[in-house]
Chain A
């Protein structure tokens, strides 16, 4: 049977991707950010999974206002890197895992989560920056990736509770897949940031660290945090953090198993307009 071995959480700030692509990652401004991922890259090398389920959001790239799916699961064989207005990032295309994807779709939809299924979409920095942070700059990504795009652009976005429950359904789906695959699930976006209006630039260290604490030890109560608390305390774009609850919901302890081990935790302000948060939790 397939199993989820670990969940990884990280911000997906576009400027981080640009810093890597332009060779600026050794500049003093960026050094502290990348230092926080040094351990993770080494750990990931030693613990490369067979498949990654990568929860992220599209930033008006594959989905315009013509179509706004709340949860869109990639079931395709391959996903091209999007041109977001500056030309596509010089990183490898993303190879999917259609067999596991279709199994997840079959299971999760029958588990009452009405997913949208996508066979063709370009993926933007929301998906590619986390891969770059964890894998550096390889010629090909070391394993297949199943994208799960969540609408956090147009309100109402899904509730934390719904996200947390979706993660649980995904864990059940993975657990019923016959091949013995080692699967990681990643939650990306956040942490506190606001990119719009006169309040742009909002950062809330206290909120972010409290979020990390609860994500580790009490995700069930964290999942009940209402949207308005994210908006008011973590900025209008801080709402991306609900996506972390999908990954957290897929961990063993939520289904009655043992608590996960905290392998790594990192927090830094700023990267461009945003607080960077990062966590690795390993299932026991």
Chain B
């Protein structure tokens, strides 16, 4: 019997559940390795070579190289793990979060200063499909 996952109906959101964690295990563990300064250096020197040491899918490796965080999340990544790639690149959490919204860094920052993204029209997937 399928388990109830009501959060599938929230637009622009992937909930990191046990299934996503299974898909993203090595992607996230690769991210964890970047908590060590020496590994950050190795990764920066040759990203492909470093990524090849992990049992990640080619799609996951490519998403990391492209810094496509939405794709990384779709492939099982979790934002707190992926944040370690951002830290390696010297990006703030706001820059990382903003990069997933299709907005410019400035526009995202301004949106936050002005009170953030409203929940109105952003609660259910059908609200985005009708846009």
Contact = CB atoms under 8 A, between A and B. Distances in A.
A275 B123 contact: no
Interface in B88-125: 88, 92-94, 96-98, 100-102, 108, 111-113, 115-119, 122-124
Interface string B21-46: 10011001101101101001000000
A258 interface: no
Contact of B112 (A64, A204, A237, A272): A272
Interface string A190-202: 0010111111111
Q: Which size bracket describes the interface of A in this complex?
A: 35 or more
A83 B40 CA distance: 13
Interface in A196-222: 196-205, 207
A80 interface: no
B82 to A, nearest CB: 8
A156 interface: yes
Interface residues of B, number: 54
B16 A64 contact: no
B43 to A, nearest CB: 12
Given A153-B16, A154-B16, A154-B17, A65 B25 contact: yes
A59 B83 CA distance: 10
Interface of B: 6-7, 10-18, 21, 24-25, 28-29, 31-32, 34-35, 37, 40, 69-70, 73, 78-81, 83-84, 87-88, 92-94, 96-98, 100-102, 108, 111-113, 115-119, 122-124
11 contacts: A84-B87, A85-B83, A85-B84, A197-B14, A198-B100, A202-B122, A232-B7, A232-B10, A236-B13, A236-B15, A270-B116
Given A15-B93, A15-B94, A197-B70, 10 more contacts: A15-B92, A83-B35, A85-B84, A85-B88, A154-B17, A196-B14, A202-B122, A228-B10, A269-B115, A273-B93
Interface of A: 14-15, 59-61, 64-66, 83-86, 153-156, 192, 194-205, 207, 227-228, 231-233, 236-237, 269-270, 272-273, 275
